[in-house]
C-alpha cells in the first residue's frame, strides 16, 4: 500500500487536529486564570466563576489579550500558561481564516500543489463509481481527485460522501488544469470520461507533460471500432486502454457459451439481438474461440445492415456458418416473427443473446422468449446490475451479464496500488500491445 504523508490526511482529520489545539489552548487559559493569575485590564478574573473564565478564554481566539491586558500575579507557571494561550489562540484563528480564504480563492492549488501518490480520475459516471469502490477497499486513505464536467454535477455529492473524493468541475484535457493537479507526481491517472476524444486528448497531453506517468495511465474507450484503430499506436503502447463492452463480451463467451456448445449436439443457431459494440465483440469471440460449434447466426438490430458492414470492415466474417441479417426495431412483434421462422428453420433450440443498449428491452424480450424456448440458452446483457431482474432471471433459468459488474471484476489489483507495477485486464484485450 502506498505511503500516505501529511498532505494525504483527509479533511476531517485536519478538523480534528485543529479542534484538539483549540481545546488545549482554552484549557491553558482556564487553568492559568484558576491558578490565581489575573489580567491588568480586567481585575477579578482570577476570582471569578468558571463560566466567566471560560468566556474570557474563548475571547482570546478573537481578540488575543488586547482587551484583557497582560497576565499579572499568581504563580509563574500559571502566568506562563496564560502567555502561551495569549499567543496560541490568535494563531489558531488566523490559520483557520487563511486556509478558508485560500480555499475560496484557489482551492485546487491549495489542496494538490504538494501532494504525491494521489489518484486522479476523469469522469463521474458508472465506471468511476466502480473504480472508486474497489480503490477504497484497497486504499482507504489515499487522496482521490475526480474531475467532472457540468453535465455530471449531480453525481458530485455521491462521490464525495460515498468514496471520500475531492470533486472538481473542470476540463481534464486542459493543459493548465493538468499542471495544477501535478500529474507528474500522481500515483495513477484513470480517464473514464464519457467522451472518448476527451480521454485520448487528456492522455496525449499527460504523456507530453510527464512521460513517466503514461505507464500508470488507464484510458477507457467506449467506441470499440475506434479502439481497434488505435492498435499499435504510441498511445496504445504507453497507456493502458480498455473497453467495458469488450470485457463483458469476452467473459460471456468464455464462461457461458463455450460450455453450452460442448454440451449440445448438433451445432447451434445463435441469435444476436442487438449488434452494436457488445454484439459485435460476442461474434468476434465466437469466431475465434468456438469456430465449428455453431451453424447459423441470426443478426437482429435496428441498423443491422450498417452494423454488419462495420463488423465486416473492422473484423471480418470468418468461418463456414450461415449468416442471416434482420433489420428492424427489437420491440416490433413482426420482427420477432421473422426471428422465430429462422429459429424453426435451424431445427435446434437456439442460443439467444439479448444485447441491445436498453436494459428494459432486453429483459422484456427475455420474458417472452423464455416461455417460447424453455430449453434454449438465453443470455441477457445489462449495463448495470438490477436486483429484481437478476432474481427473475434466476427463477426463469436465464443467464444475465452485467457489463458494469464484469468491468469491476476484471480490473487487476495493480490498478489500485500506486506502488505496484501496472497489470493488464484479467480478460485480455487483443488490441492492446
Tens digit of each residue's pLDDT (9 = 90 or more) over 233-252: 777 778 888 888 788 788 88
Q: Is the pLDDT of residue 1 over 80?
A: no
CA 178 – CA 209 distance, rounded (Å): 8
Question: Given this model, what pLDDT does residue 431 score?
Answer: 33
Q: Is the pLDDT of residue 308 over 90?
A: yes
Question: Given this model, what pLDDT does residue 286 score?
Answer: 92
CA 86 – CA 90 distance, rounded (Å): 7
What are residue 191's phi and psi, to 5 degrees?
A: -100, 100
Q: In what order do the strands lie in the sheet with 399-402?
A: 322-327, 294-301, 268-273, 351-354, 377-382, 399-402
Q: Is the pLDDT of residue 146 over 90?
A: yes
The 10 Å CB-count burial string (b at 16+, else e) for 132-171 is beebbeebeebbbbbbbbeebeebbeebeeebbbbbbebb
More confident residue, 288 or 236: 288
CA 329 – CA 273 distance, rounded (Å): 10
Cis peptide before 75 (omega within 30 of 0): no
Cα-Cα-Cα-Cα dihedral sign, residues 46, 47, 51, 56 = negative
In this prediction, residues 205-222 reach a mean pLDDT of 88
Question: Given this model, what pLDDT does residue 105 score?
Answer: 54
Q: State the DSSP H helix or E strand holding residue 306, giving kind and residue range, or none if neither.
A: helix 304-314
Question: Given this model, what pLDDT does residue 395 score?
Answer: 74
What are residue 225's phi and psi, to 5 degrees?
A: -60, -40
Q: Is the pLDDT of residue 277 over 80?
A: yes
Question: Given this model, what pLDDT does residue 114 score?
Answer: 61
CA 390 – CA 392 distance, rounded (Å): 5
| 0.85 exceeded by pTM | no
Of 7-11, 202-206, 274-278, 335-339, give the lowest mean pLDDT range: 7-11
Question: Given this model, what pLDDT does residue 238 score?
Answer: 82
The predicted-structure confidence for 351-391, as pLDDT tens digits, reads as follows 999 988 888 888 888 888 888 888 889 998 887 777 777 77
In the structure grid, which three cell numbers stand for residue 230, read together? 488505435
Residue among 356, 352, 297, 284 at smallest CA distance from 324 = 297
Rounded mean pLDDT of the chain?
Answer: 82
DSSP 267: P
More confident residue, 314 or 156: 156
The 10 Å CB-count burial string (b at 16+, else e) for 406-427 is bbbebbeebbbbbebeeeebeb
pLDDT interval class at 5 (50, 70, 90): very low
DSSP 181: T
CA 226 – CA 141 distance, rounded (Å): 36
Residue among 216, 273, 218, 276 at smallest CA distance from 246 = 276
Query: How many residues does this entry show for the chain?
Result: 433
pLDDT interval class at 70 (50, 70, 90): confident
Question: Given this model, what pLDDT does residue 15 score?
Answer: 61
Question: Given this model, what pLDDT does residue 303 score?
Answer: 94
* Contacting residues for 154 by C-beta, under 8 A, at least 6 apart: none
User: Helix (H, G, I), strand (E, B), or coil: what is residue 167?
Assistant: strand
The burial of 116, by beta-carbon neighbours within 10 Å (0-12 exposed, 13-18 middle, 19 or more buried), is given as middle
Amino acid at each position: 500500500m502506498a505511503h500516505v504523508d501529511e498532505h494525504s490526511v483527509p479533511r476531517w482529520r485536519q478538523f480534528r487536529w485543529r479542534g484538539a489545539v483549540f481545546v488545549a489552548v482554552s484549557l491553558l487559559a482556564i487553568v492559568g486564570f484558576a491558578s490565581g493569575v489575573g489580567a491588568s485590564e480586567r481585575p477579578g478574573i482570577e476570582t471569578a466563576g468558571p463560566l466567566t473564565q471560560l468566556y474570557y478564554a474563548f475571547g482570546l481566539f478573537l481578540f488575543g489579550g488586547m482587551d484583557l491586558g497582560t497576565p499579572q500575579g499568581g504563580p509563574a507557571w500559571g502566568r506562563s500558561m496564560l502567555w502561551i494561550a495569549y499567543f496560541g489562540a490568535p494563531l489558531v484563528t488566523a490559520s483557520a481564516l487563511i486556509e478558508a480564504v485560500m480555499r475560496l480563492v484557489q482551492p485546487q492549488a491549495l489542496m494538490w500543489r504538494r501532494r504525491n501518490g494521489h489518484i486522479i480520475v476523469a469522469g463521474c459516471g458508472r465506471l468511476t463509481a466502480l473504480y472508486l469502490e474497489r480503490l477504497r477497499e484497497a486504499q482507504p486513505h489515499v487522496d482521490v481527485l475526480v474531475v467532472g464536467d457540468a453535465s455530471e454535477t449531480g453525481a458530485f455529492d455521491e462521490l464525495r460522501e460515498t468514496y471520500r473524493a475531492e470533486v472538481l468541475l473542470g476540463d481534464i484535457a486542459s493543459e493548465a488544469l493538468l499542471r495544477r493537479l501535478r500529474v507528474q507526481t500522481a500515483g495513477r491517472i484513470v480517464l473514464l470520461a464519457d467522451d472518448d476524444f476527451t480521454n485520448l486528448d487528456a492522455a496525449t497531453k499527460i504523456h507530453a507533460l510527464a512521460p513517466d506517468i503514461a505507464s500508470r495511465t488507464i484510458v477507457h474507450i467506449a467506441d470499440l471500432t475506434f479502439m481497434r484503430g488505435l492498435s499499435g499506436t504510441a498511445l496504445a503502447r504507453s497507456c493502458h486502454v480498455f473497453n467495458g463492452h469488450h470485457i463483458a463480451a469476452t467473459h460471456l463467451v468464455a464462461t457461458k457459451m463455450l460450455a453450452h456448445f460442448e454440451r449440445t449436439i448438433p451445432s447451434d443457431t445463435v441469435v444476436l439481438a442487438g449488434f452494436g459494440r457488445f454484439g459485435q465483440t460476442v461474434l468476434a469471440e465466437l469466431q475465434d474461440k468456438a469456430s465449428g460449434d455453431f451453424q447459423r447466426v441470426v443478426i437482429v438490430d435496428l441498423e443491422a445492415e450498417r452494423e454488419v458492414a462495420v463488423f465486416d470492415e473492422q473484423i471480418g466474417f470468418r468461418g463456414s456458418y450461415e449468416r442471416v441479417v434482420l433489420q428492424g426495431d427489437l420491440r416490433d412483434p413482426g420482427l420477432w416473427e421473422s426471428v422465430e421462422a429462422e429459429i424453426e428453420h435451424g431445427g435446434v433450440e437456439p442460443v439467444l443473446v439479448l444485447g441491445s443498449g436498453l436494459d428494459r428491452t432486453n429483459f422484456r424480450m427475455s420474458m417472452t422468449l423464455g416461455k417460447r424456448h424453455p430449453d434454449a440458452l438465453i443470455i441477457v446483457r445489462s449495463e448495470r446490475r438490477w436486483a429484481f431482474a437478476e432474481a427473475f432471471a434466476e427463477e426463469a433459468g436465464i443467464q444475465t451479464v452485467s457489463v458494469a459488474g464484469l468491468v469491476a471484476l476484471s480490473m487487476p489489483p495493480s490498478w489500485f496500488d500506486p506502488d505496484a507495477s501496472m497489470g493488464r485486464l484479467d480478460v485480455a484485450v487483443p488490441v492492446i500491445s
